[in-house]
């Protein structure tokens, strides 16, 4: 699908070619540009604003997103702008904390919940692009239209001086926000709902409270939020009640009355900004239209209650970046990009439901909803196991890919009377809650709804753990830093290359896959069982041994985004690699050239400010 091309008499100052054009220099566009930059891909990042946004927006960063920052080599610059282990506490009107979400796991190498300052995180990503000479950033540049054909996309842009040019890209990514011009021009349906109530957000400096964490005050008269952020910043959010307007609430006296709920002297509050927003829950019908892909808020938007909007966008970048790089380099054909929608859309829907459930618990729309919430909270005190299930957020849907680049049988059709009943009840608060619980197929409710799933316990399609490991030179580091960002074949206690066929070895060489042998840390000094070309790692924390002890298999195939593509026994490695190549849609030329050495990718960048 196309947008109207510019008129024939438009002045074209020059035309440039690029592998990937990204529309929007928000966090998702910036992250995709960093991922592609590391792969040596030519990127043009187009942003209509003359600078990246510098006011606070998202405030929650999860462990999966931190792992992606780590993968592009900028996490150390980000960490000073974060607060680890940032709990979310639900508080009654009289100040009683009835639920505190405090996940303490670090299975992916980072704390599960973190507060952060988004403008500073975006700045870290922006400055990271200076490493790559083949990445260009055009600030102050607007997209007038685009036309795609079988070979690529022609994008008509105008910079802040009024100069027009055409950018010719093999592929284009629309990462231009919830009101995406790209999505609307493609006429991709964006279905969902808008909550009837609005919220006024006030960000302040010099935190007037200072207490850590996020407090969700479940006040029947007016629910509100108080969140501590790094660098002495605090966020207040107050529900806009029926009949109130943004203009009225923003008046100094009315705003002071709101803040007086939590601050003794509102006149001394150092305000950064205030803004009224509406909670939306929407999902694009597809994330790909031929040579154009959608990512971040352009593909899905969700209520803020679990801080998953930003994190879901980073997950999109993590999934899409390596696939685009493979296609651009000719290693895989365009079918690989179809797996982006297959893998990401279902999980984005689950995160939207999770955010809606949290909103239903915190701020029900009706009196019936409030009574259900109160009864539900009381029941948690009667059933400690139920309370732990919700307080520890065990029902949070972690990404699990059942189709796409995974070595699993196709998912079987779902159904059953309970599944149908839950689907019909999905528009109510209880229905959304029960539906979310049933999505975990290995839970009791999930088995009742869908039947027993023989693959529910399989790690395939899930993110792999990231413990600390030791290298042969004695250095201890996180797993991803040790094995790099490419494909990996990781085996526990056995040589993953033993008996490898020439075809499988050639495919791994073409993919740049790394062979890894993990062993107990005390065995690391013994190197006679480590052949040339295999990286040996010591299991410092014992977590790799624990992970493999739950499986009958001892070899795992890891994708560049650190999801498990497949597991197998040592004697099945060659067959698994060949099957994975098929799932990747490796091109005929890539298969023919599988044994040829790689040419080194370029690294270093020009940042162009078209202002």
Residues making up the binding site for FAD? 19-48, 287-297
Q: Of 123, 141, 186, 121, give the one whose Cα is nearest residue 45.
A: 141
As given in the structure block, the two tokens for residue 71 are 């993968």
CA–CA distance from 336 to each of 19, 104, 332 (Å)? 16, 36, 7
- Under DSSP, is residue 218 helix (H, G, I), strand (E, B) or coil? strand
Q: Of 174, 172, 143, give the one whose Cα is nearest residue 156.
A: 143
Q: E strands within 123-257?
A: 132-139, 141-148, 153-159, 164-174, 190-205, 214-218, 224-229, 233-240
With beta carbons less than 8 A apart as the criterion, state whether 263 and 238 touch. Answer: no
Please give the Cα distance from 373 to 392 (Å, whole number). Answer: 18
Please give the Cα distance from 421 to 437 (Å, whole number). Answer: 14
As given in the structure block, the two tokens for residue 312 are 């879901």
With beta carbons less than 8 A apart as the criterion, state whether 384 and 442 touch. Answer: no
**Helix or strand holding residue 492 (H, E):** strand 488-492
Please give the Cα distance from 116 to 66 (Å, whole number). Answer: 11
Cβ-Cβ contacts under 8 Å for 184 (sequence gap 6 or more): none
Strands across the sheet containing 534-539: 476-478, 468-470, 534-539, 514-520, 488-492, 555-558, 564-568
- Under DSSP, is residue 200 helix (H, G, I), strand (E, B) or coil? strand
Burial grade of 534 (CB within 10 A; 0-12, 13-18, 19 or more): middle
- Known binding-site residue numbers: 19-48, 287-297
Please give the Cα distance from 470 to 350 (Å, whole number). Answer: 37
* Residue whose token pair is 């895989």: 332
Please give the Cα distance from 578 to 425 (Å, whole number). Answer: 44
DSSP for 446-490, please give it.
HHHHH---TTTT--TTBBPP--EEE-TTS-EEEHHHHH-SS-EEE
Q: Which residues pair with 400 in a beta bridge?
A: 462
Please give the Cα distance from 95 to 242 (Å, whole number). Answer: 25
Residue 65 has, within 13 A of its CA and on its CB side, a CA count of 30
DSSP for 75-132, please give it.
HHHHGGGEEES--EEEEETTS-EEEEE-----TTSS-SEEEE-HHHHHHHHHHHGGGE
């Amino acid at each position: 699908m196309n947008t109207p091309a510019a008129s024939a008499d438009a002045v074209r100052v020059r035309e440039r070619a690029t592998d990937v054009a990204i529309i929007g220099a928000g966090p998702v566009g910036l992250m995709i540009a960093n991922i592609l930059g590391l792969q040596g891909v030519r990127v043009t990042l187009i942003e209509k604003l003359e600078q990246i946004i510098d006011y606070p927006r998202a405030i929650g960063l999860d462990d999966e997103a931190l792992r992606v920052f780590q993968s592009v080599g900028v996490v150390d610059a980000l960490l000073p702008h974060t607060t680890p282990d940032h709990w979310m506490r639900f508080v009654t009107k009289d100040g009683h904390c009835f639920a505190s979400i405090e996940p303490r796991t670090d299975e992916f190498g980072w704390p599960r919940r973190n507060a952060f300052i988004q403008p500073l995180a975006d700045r870290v990503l922006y400055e990271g692009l200076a490493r790559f000479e083949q990445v260009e950033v055009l600030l102050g540049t607007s997209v007038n239209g685009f036309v795609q054909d079988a070979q690529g996309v022609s994008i008509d842009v105008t910079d802040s001086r009024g100069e027009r040019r055409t950018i010719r890209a093999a592929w284009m990514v629309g990462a231009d926000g919830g009101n995406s011009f790209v999505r609307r021009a493609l006429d991709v349906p964006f279905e969902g709902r808008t909550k009837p109530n609005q919220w006024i957000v006030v960000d302040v400096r010099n935190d007037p409270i200072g207490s850590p964490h996020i407090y969700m005050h479940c006040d029947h008269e007016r629910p509100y939020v108080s969140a501590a952020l790094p660098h002495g910043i605090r966020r207040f959010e107050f529900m806009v009640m029926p009949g109130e307007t943004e203009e009225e609430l923003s008046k100094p006296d009315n705003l002071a009355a709101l803040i007086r709920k939590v601050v003794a002297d509102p006149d001394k509050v150092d305000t950064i900004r205030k803004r009224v927003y509406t909670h939306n829950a929407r999902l694009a019908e597809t994330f790909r239209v031929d040579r154009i892909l959608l990512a971040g808020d352009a593909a899905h938007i969700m209520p803020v209650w679990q801080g998953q909007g930003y994190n879901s966008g980073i997950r999109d970048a993590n999934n899409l970046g390596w696939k685009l790089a493979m296609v651009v380099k000719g290693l895989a054909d365009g079918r690989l990009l179809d797996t982006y929608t297959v893998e990401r859309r279902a999980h984005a829907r689950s995160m939207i439901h999770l955010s809606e459930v949290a909103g239903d618990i915190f701020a029900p729309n009706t009196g019936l909803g409030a009574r259900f919430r109160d009864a539900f909270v009381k029941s948690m005190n009667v059933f400690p196991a139920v309370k732990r299930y919700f307080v520890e957020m065990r029902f949070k849907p972690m990404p699990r890919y059942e189709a796409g680049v995974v070595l699993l049988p196709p998912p079987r059709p779902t159904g059953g009377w309970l599944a149908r009943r839950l689907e019909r009840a999905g528009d109510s608060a209880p229905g959304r809650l029960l539906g979310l619980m049933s999505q975990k197929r290995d839970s009791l409710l999930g088995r009742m709804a869908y039947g027993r799933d023989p693959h529910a316990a399989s790690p395939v399609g899930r993110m792999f753990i990231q413990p600390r490991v030791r290298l042969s030179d004695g250095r201890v580091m996180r797993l991803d830093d040790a094995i790099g960002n490419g494909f990996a074949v990781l085996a526990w206690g056995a040589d993953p290359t033993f008996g490898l066929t020439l075809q499988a070895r050639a495919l791994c060489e073409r993919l740049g896959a790394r062979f890894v042998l993990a062993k107990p840390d005390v065995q690391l000094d013994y190197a006679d069982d480590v052949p040339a070309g295999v990286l040996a790692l010591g299991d410092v924390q014992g977590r790799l041994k624990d992970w493999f002890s739950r499986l009958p298999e001892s070899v795992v195939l890891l994708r560049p985004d650190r999801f498990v593509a497949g597991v197998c026994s040592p004697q099945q490695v060659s067959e698994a690699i060949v099957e994975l190549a098929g799932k990747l849609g490796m091109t005929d030329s890539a298969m023919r050239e599988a044994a040829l050495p790689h040419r080194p990718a370029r690294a270093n960048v020009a940042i162009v400010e078209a202002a």
